[in-house]
């Protein structure tokens, strides 16, 4: 059977949840369920993104696995008078490999602009991290027929300043704002339509890497909808919020992503 050439990726975004005790229990459960099922997960990139203060703890907990560590945010400068911020080099120093950039909660609640997000992306990329760029439209933008326009307006500033092959390493996560934390996922067709549009934008601007770029879907991914989403040709895995805090749900979502490798996508 023909297999997809893009390795699936599942990213658990814990958001502002956890404690030392809860993190320990959650990671141990994920290790037991996921590792028992797959003898570790070489066919899947599995990334855990705890709050920044717990990165070091989680790194220690996953060091005997192939799971990867990710941060939820980063700043665009290497050092200096930026109280409260974290430099990309500091994440690298903690063996953190991935970083979520431009999550809609950061855009909406913390006023992050496309321009700032583009600078963060390039700083993270230059430091050697794997940025996960989040894009997506609000419900009113969707209703106004502006979904693709919004998504493009969030990606183009990055294409303008990032190296042409950045998305060979970096990922894009399409996350419709109305689907995040609401229990209302985009349908597989809705998500696929936008994600095919994102790949078409990459083909137009950076054709040499567009078929290799990985595009995740995020927004109320659960065990019972993961398989139908990951079956879509341009959905290469998921950015998982709520369900990443439940080891059983998370395991089933990982299973769906691993299965997707063998589908003729
Ligand atoms: P959700 O969150 O899975 O809880 O909808 C996804 C995200 O915000 O990344």
pLDDT at 213 over 70: yes
pLDDT exceeds cutoff 70 at 39: no
Best residue among 220, 222, 244, 249 to mutate for probing ligand 1, ranked by most atoms within 8 Å of CB: 220
SS3 assignment, position 238: strand
pLDDT (0 to 100) of residue 62: 94
Q: At what angle are helices 247-260 and 223-230 packed, to 10 degrees?
A: 20
With beta carbons less than 8 A apart as the criterion, state whether 218 and 12 touch. Answer: no
pLDDT tens profile 97-140: 999 999 999 999 999 999 999 999 999 999 999 999 999 999 99
pLDDT digits (tens, 9 = 90+) for 139-189: 999 999 999 999 999 999 999 999 999 999 999 999 999 999 999 999 999
pLDDT at position 34: 78
Which tokens sit at 141? 């933008």
Between CA 145 and CA 206 the distance in angstroms is 26
- How far apart are the C-alpha atoms of 90 and 76, rounded to whole Å? 12
**Which pLDDT score, from 0 to 100, does residue 1 have?**
36
- Average of pLDDT values for 39-62? 90
The per-residue pLDDT of the chain, averaged, comes to 94
Residues 82, 84, 85, 90, CA torsion sign: positive
pTM: 0.95
175 catalytic per annotation: yes
Closest residue by Cα to atom 9, ligand 1, is 241
| CB-ligand 1 contact for 69 (6 Å cutoff) | no
Any catalytic annotation for residue 79? no
pLDDT category at 259 given cuts 50, 70, 90 is: confident
């Amino acid at each position: 059977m023909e297999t997809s050439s893009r390795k699936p990726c599942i990213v658990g975004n814990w958001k502002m949840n956890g404690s030392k005790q809860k993190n320990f229990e959650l990671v141990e459960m994920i290790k037991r369920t996921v590792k028992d099922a797959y003898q570790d997960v070489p066919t899947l990139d599995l990334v855990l993104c705890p709050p920044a203060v717990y990165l070091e703890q989680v790194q220690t907990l996953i060091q005997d696995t192939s799971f990867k560590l990710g941060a939820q945010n980063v700043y665009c400068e290497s050092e200096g008078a930026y109280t409260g911020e974290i430099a990309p080099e500091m994440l690298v120093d903690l063996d953190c490999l991935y970083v979520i950039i431009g999550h809609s909660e950061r855009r909406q609640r913390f006023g992050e602009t496309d321009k700032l997000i583009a600078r963060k992306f390039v700083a993270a990329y230059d430091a050697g991290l794997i940025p996960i760029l989040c894009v997506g439209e609000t419900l009113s933008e969707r209703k106004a027929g502006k979904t693709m326009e919004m998504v493009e307006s969030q990606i183009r500033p990055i294409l303008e300043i990032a190296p042409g092959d950045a998305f060979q390493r970096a990922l894009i996560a399409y996350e419709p704002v109305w689907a995040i934390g609401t229990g209302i996922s985009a349908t597989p067709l809705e998500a696929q339509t936008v994600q095919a549009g994102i790949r078409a934008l990459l083909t137009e601007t950076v054709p040499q890497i567009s078929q290799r770029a990985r595009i995740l879907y995020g927004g109320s991914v659960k065990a019972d909808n993961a398989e139908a989403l990951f079956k879509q040709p341009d959905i290469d895995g998921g950015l998982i919020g709520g369900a990443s805090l439940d080891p059983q749900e998370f395991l089933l979502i990982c299973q769906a992503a691993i299965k997707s490798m063998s589908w003729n996508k």
